[in-house]
Structure 1
Amino acid sequence: MKDSLGSVQSLLVLGGSSDIAVATARKLAQDKTKRIILAARPSERLDAAVTLLRSHGADVRTVDFDALDFSSHEKVLAPLFEEGDIDVVLLAFGVLGEQARDERDPLSAAQVVQTNYVGAVTSSLVCAEALRKQGHGSLVVLSSVAAERARKANFIYGSSKAGLDAFAQGLGDSLEGTGVHVMIVRPSFVETKMTTGRPKAPMSTTAEAVADGIVEGLRRNAEMIWVPAPVRFAMSAVRHLPRPVFRKVAEKQG
């Protein structure tokens, strides 16, 4: 449970080797978070994350978690809450896919959607129910500004995030009054290892900036945050553009 000052004591990260996940966990560990569980597939990046977080004094363990193995989510995740209360669950996994390839290969497109949406739904429901039973906690869901309006350059990824975003909003409403808080994070294009080599979009951000936004959002008990904050107003305008105008704007962005 959070301490008397509202600091996070325990953290579960789904997708524990992602740049945003590691940056967020590090910032929380530098504060007062001492118990961290990284749920992800084994990798050198996950090992490096463990070493980094332990260097900040956190008690870190890993759990083998596969976003696409939907049937395993309850078996893997539910027992973690029986070991002790978890203050924050950060859902940080996701894949960008390759739009041109995925348009030609429906099975590749399906994998993007299954990872970003179906896997997120099943794992979120397991964690939300566990948080509800313990009577407190926050579920932080990484969405994207791409969820606001699909562009032809990334409509498969964008549609998967749009589904996740709508799901997370409804989940948060369903948990109202239970002591469980859902926070949706909508970052712009994030410069990470996953986006290396891709053209930057306007108002790009970094994993560190997203982590700062998450930590501040948790302090405020926010329901939705945008990173960087001004992108909220830019996307509000984009959302209302007539489709012919939007196509021209999106074409310029690639």
Structure 2
Amino acid sequence: MFRHPVVIRVAHWVNAICLLVLLMSGLQIFNAHPALYWGKVSAFDTPLMAMSSTEDDPPKGVVTILGRTFDTTGWLGSSAGADGEAADRGFPSWATLPSDQDLTGGRSWHFFFAWAFVLNGLAYLFYGLVSGQLRFRVIPSRDQVRHFGASVWEHLTLRFPEGDEAKRYNVIQKLTYLVVLFVLLPAQVLAGLAMSPAMDAAFPFLLTLFDGRQSARTVHFVVAALLVLFVVVHVAVVVLSGFRNNMRGMITGWFVIERKVEPLPERTSTEAAS
């Protein structure tokens, strides 16, 4: 069956590219001050989360979360830089764009792809509303909602829909996309805007909405982590439910529906003799 129109496919892959660049450039920006706070100002003595390194030789990486410390040497706080030498940095060089400590470069990448991501998302929403695709993809039916528990169990046991059931998204997919599209992504965009002094001057309600610029930065970071989790689970489901078929659907639009094969009824001895 033809499952994904060209606009949906293009928007999907543009989103994938934008999210990857935004994540890596965002980690570069975060590394300039690898700590999170709540409120209007930075409470340096009591951060919600902070990445740092010790003065040992070689230095050890330390992550502090709500007052508890964890040794994260080699991954967070202290890791090899682009030159291979141990460096005092939040996230490692392979996870940031650019790989070297470059706040200006990270901001340039982040701002450009942020606007590309927003414009692509608006185009997707407009097309989805006009074509009806949005309702098909994110609004569960009453019957699907009633069978929510069964759908959860099917996912936990890695049993995926077959036959006619595979023609539409299940309730978990729809509710997940609904939360991502209308909760997480708007919160992420608004929190990003609230971190800009120019935007705050033009739209003062942004700081009120997030209770301060530092709170907005924390929300931005947490939502980014949730989006990464969503992508990881999404990719895992794509692989487990049929990587080749799913990729073909998102590249060409065509998705193969495998029909359920019902077992033939056993014949009685009389039927067999006749």
Is the TM value for this pair above 0.5? no
Higher percent of residues as helix: 2
Give me the TM-score of the superposition, normalised by structure 1.
0.24
Structure with larger Rg: 2
Give me the TM-score of the superposition, normalised by structure 2.
0.23
Higher percent of residues as strand: 1
Greater RCO, CA 8 A, separation 6+: 2
